[in-house]
Amino acid sequence: MAVEHFTWADKIAGELLKRGRKHIVHGMWTPSGYFHIGNARGELLVPAMVARAVKDAGGSARQNFLADDFDDMDKVPAGIAVNAEKYNEFLGKPLRECPSPVKGYDNWASYFTELALEDMEKFTEKPKFHSVYDEYRKGKYDKVIRIVLDNAGKVRDLWEIIAGTHKPENWLPVMVVCENCGRSATTKAVSWDGKKLGYVCSEAREYAKPCRHEGEIIPRKGNVKLPWRVHWPATWFVFGTTFESAGKDHFTKGGSVDTGHAFMREVFGKEPPYQVGTEFIQLAGQKISGSRGNVITLKDWLEVAEPELLRFMMISYQPSTAIDFDMHSGKLFLLEQRHHESEAVYYGQKSLGEKRDSQLKREYMLSQVKKPAKQMPVQLDYSLLTMVVQMYPHKSMGKIIELLHSLKALKKDKLAKGDEQRISVMINRARVWVEKYAPDDLKLKLNETAPLLNLTEDEIDAVFTLSKELSKDWTEQDLQSRIYEIAREEDVEPRRFFQILYKILLNRESGPRLGPFIIVVGKEKIREILDTLKK
Ligand SMILES: [Zn+2]
């Protein structure tokens, strides 16, 4: 089957299918802090979209998500509300063996992992989860550790040639978990006779002291782990990984991608996976970290936006492009407009030219978690919704839907099954957005009295003419037209007149369509405000 390369995911799928029909795509994350949308990009959604594209092109793909919870805690990340001193005794131990920062969870790693997994399946078909700690303990890495030990010289040479780091002659590329103190960062393997591995706990770290224990073990079931540069390709070997996205920083010359590929080919005798470098998501110019305060978790996202929107963000940017995003500015609204546009194109309600349409349709399909509905779902302008929920904090859902109809905001006369549900979810999300993220200039409140404005006599006359006429019966559309007429009759430029009215009513330069808006707020109420304008 010919593969149409409309998105980066389809291009990658095309490359993968040249190599074979069956694929294992792979994401791996260290659960030292919160799983955020930047992690989700590289470790969850880029692989998920590649897997979908492989399947759509006729191949088969399975997705793994690995928590690298055998990794040590080397510091308590900033911004996580724990007494850092209490963790001093755990530094240098696996994240799985450090106490949870929050009561009710087994350990540090499981707290952050459970949070991540909880929301994951709302964003994608749930990947198969693996705990690296458990896999080592089950013995899944035993064979590969033996290969590494038997080929220690080769590993050492490749490491030196590629990364330029010299290791001593008798150096062994493994980390023994000290039987006495439980740390691996403080141990040094000193001998390997093909069966037994000797070690000493002698290496001082900034964050952990060695306990001086000396011992000999048979490497098996998690008593030995591999240093990152070897652990990574060993994981490809263990899981048969054929595709992985990784942080762009790994791709520097002589970096862990280069050594990983060499170890995979030369030591494990396998082809390395196809890899793409994925850039960070920045929050208003700042790198996201896993600590609270400067992070958007999947849960944070779901509070204000649909999961499809995050997928759309990921598919519409190349993984190698840094994305600058934040919740406070209009970026979320713009993203949604773009998503709506792709939706309209997908359902044939809009066209931007054949080539662009094909691309947008494909982006829309890949942005969907489930199969798209038969009928185009109702679309609502996010920024308008944030105004509506601010104007009517206490209105029932039914009343708000009526209001949205009257504002012509629903863009369809008859709601289909599921539309009301979608609207009510969107309304709740808009409410949270206003409460948590709205900057001052997007906060909307009906004025009690008109602000002081520097108006001409004509402009003042126009305001009072409108006020008087509000006592009559009006349909929304007729009132809207009448506002234009009043402006013209009073020699005021209509755009200027609307600006003045928004200023008087909302302290803004623009706002919702005034005819419907006035009817819904109530003509009497509007009249009261207009009449406070100083003559
Ligand atoms: Zn020790």
Q: How far is the CA of 58 from the centre of ligand 1 (A)?
A: 52
Nearest-angstrom CA–CA distance, 168 and 369: 51
Q: How far is the CA of 331 from the centre of ligand 1 (A)?
A: 51
For the chain, give the mean pLDDT.
92
Residues 158 and 207 in one domain: yes
Q: Is residue 443 predicted with pLDDT exceeding 80?
A: no
pLDDT tens for each residue of 216-236: 999 999 999 999 999 999 999
Q: How far is the CA of 188 from the centre of ligand 1 (A)?
A: 10
Q: How far is the CA of 143 from the centre of ligand 1 (A)?
A: 25
Nearest-angstrom CA–CA distance, 524 and 474: 13
**For residues 428-448, average pLDDT:** 87
Asked whether residue 191 is assigned to any structural domain, the reply reads: yes
For ion ligand 1, residues whose CB falls within 5 Å? 178, 180-181, 201, 211, 213
Q: Is residue 58 predicted with pLDDT exceeding 60?
A: yes
The total domain count for the chain is: 3
Asked whether residue 428 is assigned to any structural domain, the reply reads: yes
Task: Name the residue among 353, 349, 329 with its Cα closest to residue 341.
Answer: 349
**For residues 492-499, average pLDDT:** 96
| pLDDT for the residue 404 | 85
Residues 187 and 159 in one domain: yes
Strand order in the sheet with 197-201: 187-192, 197-201, 214-217
More confident residue, 309 or 380: 309
Q: How far is the CA of 202 from the centre of ligand 1 (A)?
A: 8
Residues 525 and 470 in one domain: yes
Asked whether residue 107 is assigned to any structural domain, the reply reads: no
Instruction: Identify which of 127-131, 438-442, 451-455 has the greatest average pLDDT.
Output: 127-131
Q: Is residue 190 predicted with pLDDT exceeding 70?
A: yes
Last residue of a domain, one of 183, 202, 228: 228
Q: Is residue 306 predicted with pLDDT exceeding 70?
A: yes
Residue 394 pLDDT level (bands cut at 50, 70, 90): confident
Q: How far is the CA of 400 from the centre of ligand 1 (A)?
A: 65
Asked whether residue 512 is assigned to any structural domain, the reply reads: yes
**For residues 134-147, average pLDDT:** 98
Nearest-angstrom CA–CA distance, 219 and 177: 10
Q: How far is the CA of 180 from the centre of ligand 1 (A)?
A: 5
Last residue of a domain, one of 228, 250, 279: 228
| pLDDT for the residue 441 | 67
Asked whether residue 100 is assigned to any structural domain, the reply reads: no
- Residue 404 lies in domain: 382-441
pLDDT tens for each residue of 239-276: 999 999 998 889 999 999 999 999 999 999 999 999 99
Q: How far is the CA of 420 from the centre of ligand 1 (A)?
A: 61
Residues 157 and 207 in one domain: yes
Q: Are 5 and 224 a contacting pair, CB within 8 Å?
A: no
Q: Which CATH number belongs to the domain containing residue 487 in this structure?
A: 1.10.10.350
| pLDDT for the residue 2 | 43
Residues 218 and 149 in one domain: yes
More confident residue, 321 or 411: 321
Q: How far is the CA of 290 from the centre of ligand 1 (A)?
A: 29
Phi, psi at 102, each rounded to 5° = -130, 140
Per cent of the chain over pLDDT 70 is 98
Asked whether residue 244 is assigned to any structural domain, the reply reads: no
| pLDDT for the residue 3 | 45
Q: Is residue 292 predicted with pLDDT exceeding 60?
A: no
| pLDDT for the residue 24 | 98
Q: How far is the CA of 524 from the centre of ligand 1 (A)?
A: 79
| pLDDT for the residue 290 | 63
**For residues 476-503, average pLDDT:** 95
132 CB-side CA count, 13 A: 29
Q: How far is the CA of 60 from the centre of ligand 1 (A)?
A: 46
| pLDDT for the residue 116 | 95
Residues 147 and 222 in one domain: yes
Q: Is residue 1 predicted with pLDDT exceeding 70?
A: no
Q: How far is the CA of 209 from the centre of ligand 1 (A)?
A: 8
Q: How far is the CA of 190 from the centre of ligand 1 (A)?
A: 14
Q: How far is the CA of 31 from the centre of ligand 1 (A)?
A: 24
Last residue of a domain, one of 190, 211, 228: 228
Cα separation values, 390 from 103, 125, 333, 430, 444, Å: 37, 35, 16, 9, 6
| pLDDT for the residue 401 | 86
Residue 289 pLDDT level (bands cut at 50, 70, 90): low
Q: How far is the CA of 72 from the centre of ligand 1 (A)?
A: 14
Residues 406 and 479 in one domain: no
Q: Is residue 373 predicted with pLDDT exceeding 60?
A: yes
Asked whether residue 433 is assigned to any structural domain, the reply reads: yes
Residue pointed to by tokens 């006495």: 180
pLDDT tens for each residue of 37-51: 999 999 999 999 999
Q: How far is the CA of 183 from the centre of ligand 1 (A)?
A: 6
pLDDT tens for each residue of 95-105: 999 999 999 99
Residues 470 and 416 in one domain: no
382 CB-side CA count, 13 A: 24
Alpha helical stretches, state H, 263-330: 298-304, 307-316
**For residues 320-340, average pLDDT:** 93
Asked whether residue 486 is assigned to any structural domain, the reply reads: yes
Q: How far is the CA of 177 from the centre of ligand 1 (A)?
A: 8
Residues 428 and 501 in one domain: no
| pLDDT for the residue 161 | 97
Q: How far is the CA of 227 from the centre of ligand 1 (A)?
A: 17
Q: How far is the CA of 208 from the centre of ligand 1 (A)?
A: 10
Q: How far is the CA of 258 from the centre of ligand 1 (A)?
A: 32
| pLDDT for the residue 439 | 82
Residue 4 pLDDT level (bands cut at 50, 70, 90): low
Q: How far is the CA of 93 from the centre of ligand 1 (A)?
A: 11
Q: How far is the CA of 81 from the centre of ligand 1 (A)?
A: 29
Residues 154 and 210 in one domain: yes
